[in-house]
Amino acid sequence: MKQAIVKAFEESVSTKKAFLKQNLDTLIAAIDAIAQAFLNGNKLLIFGNGGSAADAQHIAAEFVNRFRMDRPPLPALALTTDTSAITSIANDFDYKEIFSKQIKALGKEGDIALAISTSGNAANVLAAIDVCKNLKIAVIGLTGGDGGKMARKCDFLLCATEGKNTARIQETHILVGHVICEMVDVRLFAA
């Protein structure tokens, strides 16, 4: 058991280090884009499935409430939280449209989206990215492996390429989310 635990920690650290080495410049550009969207009076729309849905909610809460410093609330919205909208869209249309229809209703040019999919192939995430492109909403893709179909669709691709294990990818994703929150706060509110 000890060896399995040590191996899990080592894989998590290794995945994060590889992510940083491969994505640092894109991560900085994504942070700058989110900060600029907020400065321009726009919002951040975040979405994903399963653990990525939980990450979307977690990251949105950090922006709306606060992360590490007290500051004014920032406009971030997880599209994973309105169960009435999600279930009615899935029932009346298709599960593939649960995020895209919300973006059509709530998104506007100048907003920015954070699309999260460990595989990069979630049909509803891909459909939402297409709507973002039509509305001129920049897309940050947070994914893993080879980036899947998302890799060709995002303005800012943040990919845990070393990650083959979904748990290790998700662990990297939440760290990325925390770093984004902290650096946006520093960019906007540090004196």
pLDDT the model gives residue 50: 96
Residues 32 and 51: their CA atoms lie apart, in Å, by 26
Total domains, the chain: 1
Domain of residue 44: give its range: 2-189
Q: Kindly report the pTM of this predicted structure.
A: 0.96
Q: Which residue has the higher pLDDT, 162 or 47?
A: 47
Tens-place pLDDT, residues 122-178: 999 999 999 999 999 999 999 999 999 999 999 999 999 876 789 999 999 999 999
Residues 172 and 47: their CA atoms lie apart, in Å, by 16
CATH number for the domain that contains residue 166: 3.40.50.10490
Residues 99 and 103: their CA atoms lie apart, in Å, by 6
Phi, psi of 92 (to 5 degrees): -85, -25
pLDDT the model gives residue 115: 98
Tens-place pLDDT, residues 9-41: 999 999 999 999 999 999 999 999 999 999 999
pLDDT the model gives residue 191: 64
Tens-place pLDDT, residues 96-111: 999 999 999 999 999 9
Span 60-70, average pLDDT: 95
Confidence band (pLDDT; 50, 70, 90) for 190? confident
